[in-house]
């Protein structure tokens, strides 16, 4: 079914941006590329499979918190709220909030994967016929336009999944500062993955079915499909491990020997064992994250954690409008 509120807010994500960033990643040492390039249609579908894996605890833990506390969260949001979801994806978690809200003004999901987002919005619209859904296809970490603020209710951001952990500390602070300005007079509800036993973390990123490995390798498969890169995906192995001093999981694509990647007539050499760093996922303490958010202008509010203290949802009050 069509989304009558969608069209004015769609923004194309240029393919040349991927080519530019991949060239930059392959030129530098050590080699590293943003995890946002995981999320084409194939990558988004693989991530949805990851969320269902028995080893991958974050999704089911956060969903349980939302089921238990959505009414409390909705009460803080109030009536006529404009709910902004950053990195919206399949819109699974936000349904629990929307079901608990009283007469929301609108829902604005922001995601870089346009077809995946719009398909999810069509399904959501079928469930909430009266809800104004205004999807924004954009890189939410960069400047982007949003629909006008509601005249009566507040604007609240929702950033689940501990995706903030994919940023470097500087990038996380930059995003929080941007969100603090974008959400002035409102708040941010954000999910963060907490520091825990490294064995639990290792299993979550090295699942027995190999879905996370396929998700990681999709970065190279996407370069072949979209950019015409000449490479052998089978020549690279998925590598994920917990870097304890930096309190983060790191994901890499490790070369299984000496080989080349050709992109736009340029040749990039890989030595045996050399890696392309594709993602890191920082783990936090509640107090540590609240301190980071305070540097961006937020004030700490309620916190919801599971009994094992593996995951937390934090309410952060944005600066006054």
User: What string of pLDDT tens digits covers the 321 residues of the chain?
Assistant: 334 333 333 444 455 688 999 999 999 999 999 988 888 889 988 988 999 999 999 999 999 999 999 999 999 999 999 999 998 878 889 999 999 998 999 999 998 878 888 889 999 999 999 999 999 988 888 888 899 999 899 999 999 999 999 999 999 999 999 999 999 999 999 999 999 999 999 999 999 999 999 999 999 999 999 999 999 989 999 999 999 999 999 999 999 999 999 999 999 999 999 999 999 999 999 999 999 999 999 999 999 999 999 999 999 999 997
Contact predicate 44/55, CB 8 Å: no
How far, CA to CA in Å, does 147 sit from each of 10, 33, 132, 199? 11, 30, 11, 43
Q: Rounded CA gap, 133 and 122, in Å?
A: 9
Q: How many CA atoms lie within 13 A of 319 on its CB side?
A: 12
For 16, 18, 70, 277, the CA distances from 60, given in Å and listed in that order, are 36, 31, 15, 27
Q: Which fold has domain 54-196+283-317?
A: Rossmann fold (3.40.50)
Supply the pTM of this predicted model: 0.87
Instruction: At 41, list the tokens.
Output: 């249609």
CA 31, CA 277: separation in Å to the nearest integer? Answer: 6
């Amino acid at each position: 079914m069509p989304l009558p509120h969608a069209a004015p807010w769609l923004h194309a994500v240029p393919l040349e941006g991927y080519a530019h960033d991949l060239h930059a990643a392959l030129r530098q040492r050590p080699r590293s590329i943003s995890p946002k390039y995981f999320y084409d249609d194939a990558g988004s579908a693989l991530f949805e499979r990851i969320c269902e894996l028995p080893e991958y605890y974050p999704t089911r833990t956060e969903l349980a918190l939302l089921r238990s506390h959505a009414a409390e969260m909705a009460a803080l949001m109030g009536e006529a709220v404009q709910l902004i979801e950053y990195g919206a994806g399949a819109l699974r978690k936000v349904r629990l909030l929307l079901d608990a809200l009283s007469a929301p003004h609108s829902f604005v999901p922001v995601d870089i994967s346009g077809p995946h987002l719009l398909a999810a919005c069509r399904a959501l619209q079928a469930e909430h016929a009266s809800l104004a859904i205004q999807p924004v296809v954009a890189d939410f970490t960069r400047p982007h336009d949003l629909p006008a603020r509601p005249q009566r209710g507040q604007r609240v951001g929702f950033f689940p999944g501990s995706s903030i952990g994919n940023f470097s500390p500087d990038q996380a602070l930059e995003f929080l500062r941007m969100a603090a300005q974008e959400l002035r007079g409102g708040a941010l509800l954000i999910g963060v993955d907490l520091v825990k036993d490294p064995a639990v973390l290792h299993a979550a990123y090295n699942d027995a079915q190999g879905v996370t490995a396929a998700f990681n390798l999709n970065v190279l498969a996407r370069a072949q499909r979209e950019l015409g890169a000449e490479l052998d995906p089978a020549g690279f192995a998925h590598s994920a491990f917990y870097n304890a001093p930096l309190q983060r999981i790191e994901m890499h694509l490790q070369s299984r020997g000496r080989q080349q990647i050709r992109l736009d007539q340029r040749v990039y050499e890989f030595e045996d064992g050399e890696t392309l760093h594709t993602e890191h996922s920082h783990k936090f303490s509640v107090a540590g994250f609240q301190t980071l958010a305070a540097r961006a202008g937020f004030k700490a509010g309620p916190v919801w954690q599971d009994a094992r203290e593996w995951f937390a949802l934090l309410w952060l009050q944005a600066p006054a409008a």
